[in-house]
Amino acid sequence: MARKCEVVTQFRNTIGLRGHLSTRLQPNHPTDDARGVAASIVDGLLYGSGDAVIGINPATDSPAVVRGLLEMLEDVREKFSIPTQSCVLCHLTTTLELLNKSAPVDLTFQSIGGTEKTNTSFGVNLALLEEAWQATLSLNRGTVGKHVMCFETGQGSSLSANAHHGVDQQTCEARAYAVARKYKPLLVNSVVGFIGPEYLYDGKQIIRAALEDHFCGKLLGLPMGMDICYTNHAEADQDDMDNLLTLLGVAGCNYIMGVPGADDIMLHYQSTSFHDALYIRKVLGLRPAPEFEQWLVGQDIIDRQGQLQPAQKQHLLMKIIK
């Protein structure tokens, strides 16, 4: 049923078209070191990842650090004419502060929940979300569309904040999607296994929750992606993630994560790798976002059939690290 729900969004490229699967290139670093982040960006781009967004979880919410990361991403994107969008996943209030100081913000990020009390625990409310949405729209940085918000959710967030009012995890999660769709987001994803075994105990529960979240999000008209993941103290392993990745690919998921080696060295959890995205695209005949795919072909990263090309040791993208 989720596969029948095609939800398409646009900023600098087009995400969610039937027959396509996008990836968020997630180049996190435990100290926000620019060179370390750059190395992960090059790694991901050379594997064809990054069409949904190049999105960094900063180790600190410092406005100066966040601005530095935003400016680095802007420089990389412009230098190589990459048809994608960037995002530093800091708190919404930090983004608003930087927006008012003319920082190069493409997308505004925020974690959201399905009750007012949950969102209060995240330090946001509907009025603040509206303010950030309108402020980001006013920049007019998109080239093919104006979807400018990026939201993350996940079953268990309301329960963990004691903000569920006795309501079950899935219902609270579906209510979060009602919040998200008001602001016409480019991207929404459930970080399905990140909250830990206290809320989703094992691989089977994570798989169930992920398929529920994707279905409910798509049914409510959201551009639903998934962080296919688990924490190291959960009763889950990478086999569960491989199974879930395949199921979500069949279900028409809009995008997944691309993490170097599937091991996030800053957030300390396990997700999906650049190689996993190549696998699922190949076996299901899926392609990146059309504009990004054309760029990959032009960079000799993939051929016109979508197959990854042998890496060039002196590829121009290597200059990002230098």
Q: Which domains does the chain have, with CATH numbers?
A: 2-320 (3.20.20.70)
Q: Which pLDDT value is given to residue 314?
A: 79
Give the residues of the chain that fall short of pLDDT 50.
none
Q: Which pLDDT value is given to residue 317?
A: 92
274 with 288: CB under 8 angstroms?
no
Alpha helices in the chain (DSSP H): 34-46, 63-79, 92-99, 116-121, 126-137, 157-160, 169-181, 203-219, 238-251, 274-284, 290-298
Strand 9-10 to 14-15 pairing: antiparallel
Measured N-to-C along each axis, helices 238-251 and 203-219 cross at an angle, to the nearest 10 degrees, of 20
pLDDT tens profile 176-221: 999 999 999 999 999 999 999 999 999 999 999 999 999 999 999 9
Q: Which pLDDT value is given to residue 295?
A: 98
Q: Which pLDDT value is given to residue 38?
A: 95
Q: Which pLDDT value is given to residue 234?
A: 95
Two tokens at 187?
């991207």
Residue 201 CB partners (closer than 8 Å, separation 6+): 234, 235
pTM (two decimals): 0.96
Q: Which pLDDT value is given to residue 321?
A: 84
Q: Which pLDDT value is given to residue 53?
A: 98
Two tokens at 110?
């925020």
Q: Which pLDDT value is given to residue 322?
A: 74
Q: Which pLDDT value is given to residue 311?
A: 80
Residue labelled with tokens 């960037």: 86
Residues 57, 77: Cα–Cα separation, whole Å: 18
